[in-house]
Amino acid sequence: MKRRIEIGVLYSRSGSYQLISDACRAGAARAIADINADRQHDIELVPVERDPQSNADRYATLCEDIFRTSSARHVIGCVTSWSRKETIPVLEKAGGMLWYACPYEGFEANEHVVYMHACPNQHLVPLMAHVAPRFGANGFLLGSNYIWGWEMNRVARDLIADAGGKVLGERYLRIGETDVSRLIDEIRVTRPNFILNNLIGTSSYAFLAAYRELGQEDAAFKPDACPVISCNLTEGELPAIGETGKGHLSAGPYFAPCPAAFASSFEASAYASVQVMADVLSGDPDAGPAEFSKAFAERRFATRLGPIAIDPNTQHATLPVLIGRIADGFFEVVSREEEVAPDPYLSRYDPAKTFGHPRLRVVS
């Protein structure tokens, strides 16, 4: 007889980043179904689901509701860093854990959060190291006007300086904004070597469509001359982007090798989150942060992302690092590195090693 364990699921079913949220939710649901169908697994996971509807103010309230109305103490959910940060005080008060399956900007570690997707040394640093020597180091930075955009661009400014380049512009749009004409005008004038796109959802789709039109007017803005690079763009959004994304670059721990595989790294990471969670809960159904920290220190986990180690000090996962170029409805992998240990605070980042030469800065 399987032991029933309730777990929270906290993903939005609507809103400007619905495609990302849907991919995460699909990965979690697939993992729950597979575990429950596996006769070798001695637990049955029972999802307790809430829909924040992409409203940042609802995440903490609904996370609290999960803890109040069920026995769940583990929640898989949140897409934006804003929503993740909103839930942390609730997790700390309830002794719960959030399994976060999306890339984020780093510079955070909390014993109540397990970070199962990439942090900057696993996405932005290798992406910049790939782009700068091939296209040039002068960048134009875009972001949705919240934590992800602000912090990713802050890190990017330092990386661009280390690579010997300049930031030619830095602009933000509110989440969901689709009027990108001003951004296109500035990019046309400043003529960067690449654009770092930290827009999310519909804002990103609108920008890519407008940028493709710019490239048709001026070959200097075609993907093989001035690519748009991203750390959060995956297969799940390609149907919404269509031809406008072709040739541009993204970094992540997974790109689908075939149509029958996971639809994106969001789905694969959410699946792996439930795998690891269930693996530990199978031995200790009441495990909390302290027990998970001990399990992370002693074990490696077999997941659909490959073998996973989780740093018990920061609770970030060791992951593959892939760079993909958008082709016809899929990502062509152009670079791959296996099992890159997390460094969320970039404490081990070496500019000379990353960009091939030391950079001297003038100080006064």
Residues 205 and 341 placed together within one structural domain of the fold:
yes
Say how many domains are in the chain: 2
pTM: 0.92
Does residue 128 contact residue 163 with C-beta atoms inside 8 Å? yes
Confidence check: pLDDT of 364 > 50: no
Residues 143 and 221 placed together within one structural domain of the fold:
yes
Does residue 127 contact residue 325 with C-beta atoms inside 8 Å? no
Q: How far is CA 349 from CA 38, 54, 144, 189, in A?
A: 42, 34, 26, 33
Residues 335 and 280 placed together within one structural domain of the fold:
no
338: helix, coil or strand? strand
The tally of CA atoms less than 13 A away on the side-chain side of residue 351 is 16
Confidence check: pLDDT of 361 > 60: no
Locate all alpha helices (DSSP H) within 191-313, ordered by sequence: 202-217, 238-241, 265-283, 289-298
Q: What per-residue confidence (pLDDT) applies to 277?
A: 96
Q: Which long-range contacts (CB under 8 A, 24 or more apart) does 303-310 make?
A: 303/271, 303/272, 303/275, 303/276, 304/262, 304/268, 304/271, 304/272, 304/275, 305/253, 305/254, 305/268, 305/269, 305/272, 306/338, 306/339, 307/339, 308/272, 308/276, 309/339, 309/341, 310/114, 310/276
Structural element, H or E, at residue 133: helix 124-135
Q: What per-residue confidence (pLDDT) applies to 360?
A: 47
Tell me whether residue 355 is in a domain. Answer: no
Q: What per-residue confidence (pLDDT) applies to 40?
A: 87
Tell me whether residue 362 is in a domain. Answer: no
Residues 325 and 312 placed together within one structural domain of the fold:
no
Residues 191 and 202 placed together within one structural domain of the fold:
yes
Tell me whether residue 82 is in a domain. Answer: yes
Q: What per-residue confidence (pLDDT) applies to 312?
A: 95
Nearest to 116 by CA among 336, 256, 285, 311: 311
Residues 174 and 75 placed together within one structural domain of the fold:
no
Tell me whether residue 234 is in a domain. Answer: yes
Residues 301 and 340 placed together within one structural domain of the fold:
no
pLDDT digits (tens, 9 = 90+) for 258-277: 665 677 899 999 999 999 99
Residues 175 and 293 placed together within one structural domain of the fold:
no
The rounded mean pLDDT for the chain is 93
Confidence check: pLDDT of 257 > 90: no
Residues 160 and 34 placed together within one structural domain of the fold:
no
Tell me whether residue 360 is in a domain. Answer: no
Residues 316-341: what's their mean pLDDT? 94
List of E strands, the chain: 3-10, 43-50, 74-77, 97-100, 113-115, 139-144, 167-173, 194-198, 228-230, 249-252, 301-303, 306-308, 319-326, 331-340
Confidence check: pLDDT of 293 > 70: yes
Report the C-alpha gap between 292 and 276 in whole angstroms: 10
Q: What per-residue confidence (pLDDT) applies to 261?
A: 67
Tell me whether residue 141 is in a domain. Answer: yes
pLDDT digits (tens, 9 = 90+) for 204-219: 999 999 999 999 999 9
Tell me whether residue 271 is in a domain. Answer: yes
Q: Give the DSSP per-residue string, 300-318.
A: -EEETTEEE-B-TTT-BB-
pLDDT level of residue 66 (50, 70, 90 thresholds):
very high
Residues 148 and 248 placed together within one structural domain of the fold:
yes
pLDDT digits (tens, 9 = 90+) for 68-120: 999 999 999 999 999 999 999 999 999 999 999 999 999 999 999 999 999 99
Confidence check: pLDDT of 311 > 60: yes
Tell me whether residue 332 is in a domain. Answer: yes
Q: What per-residue confidence (pLDDT) applies to 362?
A: 46
CATH of the domain at 132: 3.40.50.2300
Residues 213-238: what's their mean pLDDT? 95
State the residue range of the domain holding 194.
Answer: 121-253+321-350
Confidence check: pLDDT of 333 > 90: yes
pLDDT level of residue 17 (50, 70, 90 thresholds):
confident
Residues 218 and 329 placed together within one structural domain of the fold:
yes
Residues 138-152: what's their mean pLDDT? 96
Q: What per-residue confidence (pLDDT) applies to 259?
A: 62
Q: What per-residue confidence (pLDDT) applies to 9?
A: 98
Residues 340 and 309 placed together within one structural domain of the fold:
no
